[in-house]
Amino acid sequence: MLSRHLQDIHNKTGLFFLTDVVWNHVSICNREILSHPESYYNLYNTPNLIPAYLIDRSIHEFGNAQDNITDVQDLSSFEIKLRNHLLGTAQTLEKLYKIDLNKVLDVKKSTEASLCESQLNKKDINDLIKALWLVNYKEPEYAGDIDVGILRKFLEQRGVKSEPDQNSKISAAICHFNDVEVPTIVDQILNKVISAVMGTVKYRFLDEHGPKLSFGNVPIVDRYFHVSDITFTEELALDIYRKEDAQRIKTCNGWTAGESVSDMNSTMAYTNREVVIWGDSVKLRYGDRREDSPWLWDYMTKYTCDMASLFHGFRIDNCHNTPLHVGEELLRAARHVQPQLYIVAELFTGSEERDCEIINRMGINSCIRELSQSHSPRHLGELIYHYGESKPCGSFIHNIPHGDVVHQPGDENIPLGDQTCTEDNTPQLSLGSSRPHAMLMDQTHDNPCPFDQHPLPNVLALSGLMCAAKCSIGSNRGYDELVPHHIHVVEEERLYQGWSQSDDEDLKPAKKALIKLHQRLEDKGYYETFVDQAREDVVIVTRHHPDTCSKVLVVVATSWSEDSSLTRNYTVSLPGENVKVLLETEILSPQTLPKHTNNKDYITGLSGVKIDVRENPLSSKMVTVSKPDEGNLDIDLLLTPGCVIAVEVEPPQSSKTALQYFNSYILCPEKFDKDLDKVFSTLDLLDLNYVLYRCNEEERVDGCGGVYHIPHHGNLTYAGIVGFLQVLETVTKNNDTGHPLCRNLCEGWWMADYTVNRLKKKNLKLGFFLEEIFFAVEAVPNYTRPKVFYKIISSVYSACLRQIRKLIPTMKTSVGNSWFVEQLVLTSVQLVGKVGDTGIPVLLQDKESVASLAAGLPHFSHGFMRCWGRDTFIALPGLLIKTGRLDVARDLVVGFARTLRYGLIPNLLSERGHRPRYNCRDAVWWWCRSVKLLYKHQPSILQESVYRLFYKDDSPVSPQTPFVCTVFDVITEVLQRHAAGITFREENAGRELDEHLLDPGFNMTAGVDPETGFIRGGSRHNCGTWMDKVGSSSQAGNKGIPATPRDGSAIELVAMGYQTVSWMAELFESGIGTTSVVNMKTGSTHKTVSYREWSEMIKENFEDKFWCSGGYYGNANGYYRDTLGSESGGDEKLRPNQTFAMVIAPELFKPSHMSEALKTIGTNLAGLVGMSTLSPEDADYQPYYDTGNHGNDYRTAHGFNYHQGPEWVWCMGFYLRAKLRDFQHLKKDNPDCMSDDEIGQYFATVLAPHRAMIASDPYRGLTELTNKGGQHCPNSCPTQAWSSGCLLEFLVELEQSEFSGS
């Protein structure tokens, strides 16, 4: 019958119906639950409530014996008596909480116990015991317990090894805990209990605003526990440790603000008396799963489904105290019955994060929020801003009206952050976070009367602000009928009267008009909101139309202060043309609360209240409009207490014209994007480097003035448009129109001017094109400028991407369609550019400058620090060859070839390459590797002319009459010079060249071991490979000391030497070159060795010399030595350099050994995004790099541990390439060992943190290094060339493998 009745009303009126659902409690009178004691909380199934029950019983016993409380003095006496009475209970709790020392010590050492980091970092064992202590509640005494195994492990870590010594320390600590900590814990509980009881007693019996109950007629406080059908005396005789008695003690339900009491196994709210208890209800217990309380789950599921079949929505009672898994399951069942169920709830967690968790997991549609609890006009404005501002004015994201598709400006190509794509590579919008949707109410049910806190006029003001909000709204009948007292939801037995025909003496006519206004704002598309505390007592809510920029101002005059009870004037000045008054409503009389007589039969409201409502008035009593100048308005308002005025304002004509241009052209991809593509067709990749990137130092070197500075935010990372988009990405994701960038745009078009002028300075056509665009939109309303600027700049970025895809072949492959690979390819554009003071030497006499590859930004952006020989040629294969930028790769190869001296290329350049520094042994081999890889794509590279800067090792630069050879000749010279042996002292050696290096460190050697053919060199006084840190701390004693000399034969140099001589042998055998031999130094003589003989010599000796079967670190896991013959003693250190060799020259490795080594490396060195540079088992391992460390520790001072544990990202690329080859080998021997999908998933999992890093990094690259476990290292260069290049090499190789589709 009820179902038919509700359906009939719905069909006739269109009304929808909600009902409360109660899942947390039942009445104490319910007899069914007595047969199912598992379904409610009692002392048997929740024994941690025993302390709360003991306290509750003691308070009840005390209250029954007290005299009347009539004043504050009685209250003080009462508190003293209560504290004394509870001392007995405190002693009982102490016995309960103490730990049984004898029982603990009987437990032997636990071999399975392990310490987590938080436990290990405890100050001492006393702190650890406090953290580990728990209570089992199985016995009335010594129920405290602790994991003694963890205590023993803790002591072992601090050198206490023997069991007697451990027992002694544990005994002392537990005695301390029992004698000192337990009484403190109990005393804290007691203080909270007494404070809670005294607060309740004072409110009940003495407070002016309290109920002033008669002492003796009611308990002093409500009981937290209920026992049916027995007297209190009989209750005292119950044995709470006996199952049958413990089950009889039922826990009452209640309400808390903040802490949830849904997890009764851990909450202290009952023990501390923090629950507003409902003494007539029992708290239900669902358990962790349905099996814990099957009867209750079945009962509540049926009840919930029955309600869903009758009503359109639920209001969840006491929602935040409902166990989440219960709410999820019951709502899931309800939605099977009613899929469109509308769920609302009040949440009082005190935490938006906790609110969001409940909302998201339960699927709550709206959170109920209330305005009548506001305590000032400012607080009221904050509530409207917080809950009633769905989208701010100038929002980057439009609302979704009437089921239309959401429009996100710029969503055609989401600029920078991570994204997913459809099969046709169309980017999909990633939704950002937002506040939970609110159902805003002027007052909810069962709350104090609004007149207890607000003057009469504020009742109208609250309703006006509520209806101006962009959210669901609601009220209750008592509020609209101005009922001047609390309507108690349980105790009130009267009904409302029938709907009055003469209701002009209450709020209903005004509320009806306000609701119509609320609906109009929604129907007409005023989706954006701005809340302005115009002055102390005036709140203005502006509802803005995102397309037309028309707006409706809802002005509300609150009435809290004495001044606000008077009529006053207020002027709103703003741009605009036409003004239309939509609504005026005010309370005419009286301004103070009239007397009210309760009707014994019906609930009635105030009488004699006159409220005037004027909708769309032809002549306004409260609004006067004037035009001080063209395009601007002054709206003069006459404000009476509590009044609400709504006016509609159209923007000026100039704004309309600019908006029409923006909507019809900028937002039209067919027009704007087409014109952008024409402009970009004239730009090459070096132009795009300038358009997109360029850090502050790059700009300043070229006299461009630096990057844009945003007040209250700081400098952008780049001068190009990526600098703006990097900030805008976060701004748009969070729809943060209050960000300093947005404020800067609202104040002026300076960002547009900066962008245009910068591009015009380079005479780029794009600058002149954007100048016209920004001029056309200049007059848009200032608060829409951020959205307009974002759309234009993001469209320019999208056009950049389209042009780059045309110019870089890698972007067109299937792997290039991956967002992550595309971001890595973009680092090639980011890091390759023309910078005025670079050290790259002039390539040809008629070529003034070439593009240079920055080692990283911003640390290595200009001058001699920009182009490092080693870094350039480690990164070049990935960033230039794999991306098809062969012209730049050729220029760099030839450019560095010009600087060959001593058989080496320099690591650092200066003065345009005229004063290079030859302090590294490996750069020339990375160069040789790059030439070999470039040769596959551009065979002519070997015949490129090289205009040498140095005729001989000791000759000065001779740019006028250079010695000319070919790249092939340079490689030949490198091999011969190494075979003959290289010995020299660095030019200009001394403190001016290197202020830290000791004098022997300037003596350089390199050559070949004639017995093995291995490349070797260096000494313990210098660093010749990429691990090149030299100490600089006099205080710690490491100044001038190389941290990682890696002298002797470094494994990756041996591999690159092998690769080079093997390749040269192949070239000679194919008819290229006139010689295939070197004169190799053997002691005091030389012998002639062919390239082929040399390579075979290396191959024959490699496994025997470098394989290490384990033992160095006390384990049996095999790996390859890092060096051979090092006088500094680092040969057997476990480092990632062996993976470089595995990739460069895999034929040197025995497959089974390589597989075992990779397992060792994966276990010991593989980090989150990089590879640890040293095994954690090594005594020198220090994984936290800090150049600002001015301590005395030799190992870490001034960042001495640069390569002694920090995790370097570029090494991960080689490790993954080695793993790929290992997988291929394993699959060849055993096709079923792993599926292709499993291998693909392995690589996807490893690369997930790299995706996250490049998406969040302000410089949009992969960092140089991280600290342990991928932790951020502040001293790391944010975007490093070899980090991106090496990973890109791997990904392209993966694409070409059999696992590419996985």
Strand partners, 945: 966
List the alpha helices (DSSP H) in 762-784.
765-776
Contact 135, 145 (CB under 8 A): yes
At residue 954, what is the residue type? D
Strand partners, 1079: 1088
Contact 802, 784 (CB under 8 A): no
**Type and span of the H or E element at 1257:** none
At residue 622, what is the residue type? M
Contact 557, 641 (CB under 8 A): yes
Would you call 891 helix, strand, or coil by DSSP? helix
DSSP 578-618: -EEEEEEEEEEE-SSPPP----SSEE---SS-EEEEEES-S
Bond from prior residue into 590 cis (ω within 30 degrees of 0): yes
Distances (CA, A) of 1020 to 65, 555, 1125: 88, 79, 11
Q: What's the CA gap between 38 and 80, in Å, rounded?
A: 39
Which residue in 1204, 1162, 1175, 1161 sits closest to 1114, CA to CA? 1175
| Residue 755: alpha-carbon gap to chain centroid | 30
Contact 111, 152 (CB under 8 A): no
Which residue in 1155, 1185, 1180, 1157 sits closest to 1170, CA to CA? 1185
Give 877: exposed, middle or buried? Use CB within 10 Å, 0-12, 13-18, 19+. buried
Q: What's the CA gap between 500 and 142, in Å, rounded?
A: 68
Phi and psi at residue 427, to the nearest 5°: -65, 145
Query: Could you tell me the strand order of the sheet in which 18-21 lies?
Result: 18-21, 313-316, 342-345, 366-370, 438-441, 472-474
Contact 472, 440 (CB under 8 A): yes
Cβ neighbors of 686 (< 8 A, separation 6 or more) are: 832, 833, 834, 851
At residue 1135, what is the residue type? R
Contact 440, 388 (CB under 8 A): yes
Phi and psi at residue 320, to the nearest 5°: -75, -10
Would you call 943 helix, strand, or coil by DSSP? helix
Which residue in 869, 854, 891 sits closest to 694, CA to CA? 854
Q: How large is the angle between the packed helices 967-980 and 923-935, nearest 10 degrees?
A: 140
Which residue in 1256, 1281, 1260 sits closest to 1270, CA to CA? 1256
- Strands 852-853 vs 832-833: parallel, antiparallel or unpaired: antiparallel
Cβ neighbors of 208 (< 8 A, separation 6 or more) are: none
Which residues does the annotation mark as catalytic?
317, 320, 446
- Strands 1015-1017 vs 1003-1008: parallel, antiparallel or unpaired: antiparallel
* Alpha-carbon dihedral sign for residues 667, 668, 672, 678: positive
Would you call 129 helix, strand, or coil by DSSP? helix
Phi and psi at residue 1082, to the nearest 5°: -130, 90
